[in-house]
Structure 1
Amino acid sequence: MSKIIQIADIHFGTENPRALAAFEDAMDSIGPDAIAVCGDLTQRGKREEFDAAREWLDKFDLPRLVVAGNHDTPLLNIYERVVSPFERHDRYFEDLSQPVVLDNALLTGINTSRGWQTRKNWAEGSVNLEQLEEAISTENATEDRTAFLICHHPFLSPPDAPMRTATRRGRRASRRLAKSPFRYLLTGHVHSPSVTVVDHEDHAYIAVSAGTLSTRLRNNPASFNLIDISGRDCVVTIFNLHGDRFVPMKPHVLTPDFVRKETHVEID
């Protein structure tokens, strides 16, 4: 059995100290095997925010996979945001960007964030389909190892999220992921936890969105996800902050044939 912690949108600069302290206590209790960080470790992409984020992540002596979010670009330096939007992020986290291989799980990431885009909301996601293909074609995704793809933006907007998303090439990426050996997509961005089975013809994957550990809440308390992997079965449990501690909610029990009672989304 492996235990993976999924977090997103910590937003150092507007972080929630009470949530971070409670998270550290929860890590001591849970004893996870790896952490997936689904982007937006900072609020404005400042050096001091990256310093704080790296110092905090280094408290956890276990494998970690970090992907960038749209807030991890230099907000106020337009030139850097256009020319080298992730140079600062990579300087701090390039060593944590490599795939994590556990006995029965694989975590690999792609960057869906951009420093700028030719559309009104540059913070929306965009999938590089070549990068996606490279990520999901890895030989480490075997029948004995459950494969997770990590990125910041959901490919499709989660049905019950408090904000809608419009990820470029998200629908094409979703179809491709459904036909790949990867069965889980772990994302952030919407600051709201959810578990959704995404169906496309005879193929499917499970989209798991993490909440936030910052003060930038959207209709939900601060939260993180715990993913328990046993054989080919997974249990996803959302932990919500209540007072000074995280409390587990009703678990989502997931099997290889994706039989469950929660939300399904059909891809047309």
Structure 2
Amino acid sequence: MEKELESMQQFYNIIIEFFVNYSFQIIGAIIILFIGFFIAKRVAGFIEKFCLHKNMDETLVRFIALTVKITIIAGVAIIALGKLGIAITPFVAAIGALSLGAGLALQGLLSNFGAGVSIIATRPFVVGNTITIQGYTGVVKIIKLAYTVLETEDKEQITIPNKHIVGEILCNSFEYTIVEMSVGIEYDSDPKKAITIISEVLEGFEEISKEVKAQVGIKEFADASINIELRYWALTQQYNEVQYKVNLAVFEALKENNITIPFPTINIVRDS
């Protein structure tokens, strides 16, 4: 029992001696940390407000503000440790080693974050645009630092890691997607009249872009028909719906104007 009391007394004396000798250093370190946190918060808030005022992307702004805040706090923590007389060189070396190990372990995630920063900063596309990347097409719904989410006409969501977007061939058709189709008419029909009728049909659809004029013209002279091609931009979220409606409207308009769509014919030659 006496040994335990003696050990406790020694421990108590060590603590008292430590606080007596290093009290000012501890108080100084606490004050430095407090001031550092205060400055980091204020600087991060200022940067966030300034960047948002300049209409920068909100996700990128928050990332920048958080990075600045963490950097300031880390620097202040190193200064506070030095104030306590603790050698910071081993800590710096340890942080470097840990950073290298974490970087190697998380290189896939970090590359996604880096690509996300590039996308947000350069803005090759924004939310609401229609993009085609890696064989997938959809409307951009969410842009995060690690990934981008596309949505199809069928409300399917496609999540693409950002590292698979940056550096790849990217097609951005904004909110529209081009529709290309053709319809055949008989050689006895008037192709100019058919082109005019089809053009009028396309002009009646609000879902078709008016900024880029629809194109209607003769594509080719086939064996049994004159093929008229239609090229127009339909809203991506209604791509198939608009195409089906246009096809039906074109068919009905040609029929009403006595322009015939020929049946496929096969000529069979018999040996005598």
User: Which range, TM-score by smaller chain?
Assistant: under 0.3
Structure with greater proportional helix content: 2
Structure with greater proportional strand content: 1
* TM-score, reference length from structure 1: 0.20
Structure having greater relative contact order (Cα 8 Å, sep ≥ 6): 1
Of structures 1 and 2, the larger Rg is shown by: 2
